[in-house]
Amino acid sequence: MTRIADLLAAGRTFSFEFFPPKTDEGDRQLRQALDELEPLGPSFVSVTYGAGGSTRERTHQIVVDILRNTSMTPMAHLTSVDHTRDELRTILTRYRDAGVENILCLKGDPPRGVDPADVVEEITHAGELVELTHEVGEGAFSIGVAAHAEGHPANPDVAADRRHLAAKLARADFGITNLFFEARHYVRMVEELAELGCDTPVLPGIMPITNVGQIERMAQMSGASVPDDLRERLHAIADDQPEVRRVGVELATRLCDDLLEAGAPGLHFYTLNRSTATREIHANLGLTPTP
């Protein structure tokens, strides 16, 4: 196993993210994506955690399966919303005992359809979960946190959000951003963190555009702005799926080039459990290992 903190200390990382499927067909698609992306030798791969812990067991199973049955290093996402401290301790202890060394600590979203008054919030922000993870892990975990390149959508005060992020990163080993479409947002975030005395590495999150409607929804949810010229270009070809994917790969490759040139410590690809676009970008960047 490898700790992400050690990987980042040694050089740039290139990583992939997956989510737990809900159906047999989704499971087949995930397994195919894992099989097709493993030969690229990612530094690590991450597995998301459903709102309110809705994928708790599936996330655990997939992370441990990757650990035991592939050559890849897994990272488990963990959210605190609608969990007691004891529940979180149990989850973290299971990961520690299974040999999982990397955890992404998130506040997360409450489960859909649940009255807010009924949602458990013994831990109210991700920073508290970071502290609990340190406590349970006793040095076993490399800990990451989430970052928003353009500021958190729930906090219109970007300066305050940067201070909050710097405080989280002060006790974490690394951060990973949400999706964004222009390198300048990431560069500004890093500069503003540096002004606050924070130099913890933050990996930019890359989501290739393969579906116009889907990317618009995700951008809105995460607070990412879509440039007008990009929106116009995409909507002009929205009914031509192969062309959307081609343009999406082209744009993501350019974004990755800009980020690496700006000094990003690596790239984290949101795969949506599909491998094609990620493999193409990986190859365009010259990262594909020589057979």
The set of catalytic residues is 17
Q: What is the CA radius of gyration of the chain?
A: 18
Residue with structure tokens 């590495």? Answer: 201
Q: Which of 59, 65, 150, 62 is nearest to 108 (CA)?
A: 59
Sign of the alpha-carbon torsion through 96, 98, 99, 105: negative
Burial class (CB in 10 A: 0-12, 13-18, 19+), 228: exposed
The CA distance from 166 to 168, in Å, is: 5
Neighbours of 136 (CB within 10 A): 18
CA distance 74 to 96: 13
Coil, strand or helix at 173 = coil
- Helix or strand run (H / E) with residue 217: helix 212-222
Q: How many CA atoms lie within 13 A of 141 on its CB side?
A: 31
